Amino acid sequence: MIPLTKPSIGINEINSVSNTLKSGWITQGPKVQEFEKNFINYTGAKYAAAVSSCTTGLQLSLISLGVQPGDLVITVSHSYIATANSIRHAMAEPVFVDVDKSNYNLDLESLKNFILNECVVKDGVIHYKKHKNLIENSPTLKHLKKLNGRISAIIVPHQIGIPANVKGIKQFLNNYEIAIIEDAACAIGSIYDHKKYIGNPVGDTVCFSFHPRKVITTGDGGMVTSNNKKIIENIKSLRNHGMNIDPYKRKSSNKYYFDVHIDNGYNYRLTDIQAAMGVEQLARIDEIVDERRQLGEIYKTELSTIKGLSTFENEKGNLTNWQSFPINILTRQNSKQLVRYLYDRGIFSKRGVMNSHEEPPYIEQSWNLKNSEYLLNKTVLLPMYNGLTKKDIKFVCEKVSKFFK
């Protein structure tokens, strides 16, 4: 069976984890600091905070950027459900806008239409007119009082590693009081604006995932980058139960520090064991992404003669990291049919990006998201991972070709 994905782990990662285990520092310590420093150097951001996952990074970003219980946060439904869930974890509620069918990302025109036609603006603050309709079907909002529909943030995913138009979104939102968070769970190594790595925030923060499906992994884990020191300091406190000092600094200093917990924080730390793996994975990032881009080109060549499907094309100045390789079905067939067909022939694939508004926690709310629903029904993600061979790709493409005949 050809898997959908698998991590690329070398001897350096294994030795680094082994050495960390022997060092005695296995929770948050020097390796976490090293990983954060190296991540800053790679992305060009000024500050970084390692966390337990991208989901917790999104939640802590929302809280640190002033999102209050009962607020609303704009995002897309066409993303892994963790994006929407992180908003509810911050005691806010997602409001969904549609995506662009050509790149799976938040559609700027849909955002403009939503704000200009479905919202009112008071002193630069956006308020959703239909917020009362959300309350009845929201486990987050129905227990709160005095809701005014305030939209305080937007989360913009770089879907499956494809750079979103965050610059255009920010330019449109410049006259509004709204925080901008980039969900870069899949986008480490992707490039926008010709040469910039995703991670140096266009908005306020960028959140990454190191889940095993991602381009680099720490087993699980995440990172938040920002150019605002106070935001990262707050995230570092909240990730560690609201403590006012970094555990490594406290334990390695010659001075004794008494613990003070300045906020109601969480246990959202990345461990040194995970960071030891992350340091070595990040050192190989260019090699890893280059190989995936080569595999992507092989896929595009092999699929180019098959009628009934289309493949993604990078927009000018942007380069995806090919975290996933999507194809779109142009015939009457749908993604479920192709996924089942490939599975029966020894190939794992996956329906395109899920829609949160069609999942049980959100299904009772009503959203008009035609592009999102179309893409889920017509997009399939083919196997993509380092170590995938040209022979494997040819086999996959042969089976895809037979499906359309």
* Measured distance CA(29)–CA(207) in Å, rounded: 21
* Measured distance CA(242)–CA(264) in Å, rounded: 6
Which tokens hold the place of 251?
């334990």
- At the topology level, CATH places domain 285-403 in Aspartate Aminotransferase, domain 1 (3.90.1150)
Sheet of strand 350-351, all strands in order from the earlier edge strand to the far edge: 309-311, 325-329, 379-382, 350-351
Which tokens hold the place of 358?
């069609």
Q: Per-residue pLDDT for the chain (405 aa), expressed as one digit of tens each?
A: 999 999 999 999 999 999 999 998 899 999 999 999 999 999 999 999 999 999 999 999 999 999 999 999 999 999 999 999 999 999 999 999 999 999 999 999 999 999 999 999 999 999 999 888 887 778 877 777 667 899 999 999 999 999 999 999 999 999 999 999 999 999 999 999 988 899 999 999 999 999 999 999 999 999 999 999 999 999 999 999 988 877 777 677 677 777 778 788 999 999 999 999 999 999 999 999 999 999 999 999 999 999 999 999 999 999 999 999 999 999 999 999 999 999 999 999 999 999 999 999 998 888 999 999 999 999 999 999 999 999 999 999 999 999 998
* Measured distance CA(328)–CA(308) in Å, rounded: 9
| Among candidate residues 230, 238, 291, the one with its CA nearest the CA of residue 263 | 238
β partners of residue 206: 182, 225
What's the DSSP call for residue 404? T
Same fold, 11-283 and 285-403: no
Q: Where are the domains of the chain?
A: 11-283, 285-403
Which tokens hold the place of 70?
């009962």
Query: Is 372 within 8 Å of 77 (Cβ atoms)?
Result: yes
Per-residue confidence (pLDDT) for residue 142, from 0 to 100: 74
Per-residue confidence (pLDDT) for residue 84, from 0 to 100: 98
Query: Is 58 within 8 Å of 181 (Cβ atoms)?
Result: yes
* Measured distance CA(93)–CA(97) in Å, rounded: 13
Task: Give CA torsion, residues 142, 145, 146, 150, to 10 deg.
Answer: -40
CA–CA distances in Å: residue 104 to residues 6, 54, 149, 298, 373:
23, 19, 27, 22, 11
* Measured distance CA(238)–CA(347) in Å, rounded: 42
- Residues near 171 by Cβ (< 8 Å), separated by ≥ 6? none
Which tokens hold the place of 137?
């079907």
User: At 30, is the secondary structure helix, strand, or coil?
Assistant: helix
* Measured distance CA(230)–CA(392) in Å, rounded: 48
Q: What is the pTM of this model?
A: 0.96
* Measured distance CA(160)–CA(198) in Å, rounded: 13
Strand pairing category for 47-51 and 222-226: antiparallel
The conformational region for residue 222 under phi > 0 = left, psi -120 to 50 = alpha, else beta, is beta
Per-residue confidence (pLDDT) for residue 139, from 0 to 100: 80
* Measured distance CA(63)–CA(69) in Å, rounded: 9
Query: Is 153 within 8 Å of 73 (Cβ atoms)?
Result: yes
CA–CA distances in Å: residue 312 to residues 100, 102, 106, 141, 320:
12, 8, 16, 38, 10
Query: Is 403 within 8 Å of 338 (Cβ atoms)?
Result: yes
- At the topology level, CATH places domain 11-283 in Aspartate Aminotransferase; domain 2 (3.40.640)
| Among candidate residues 29, 16, 21, 20, the one with its CA nearest the CA of residue 240 | 29
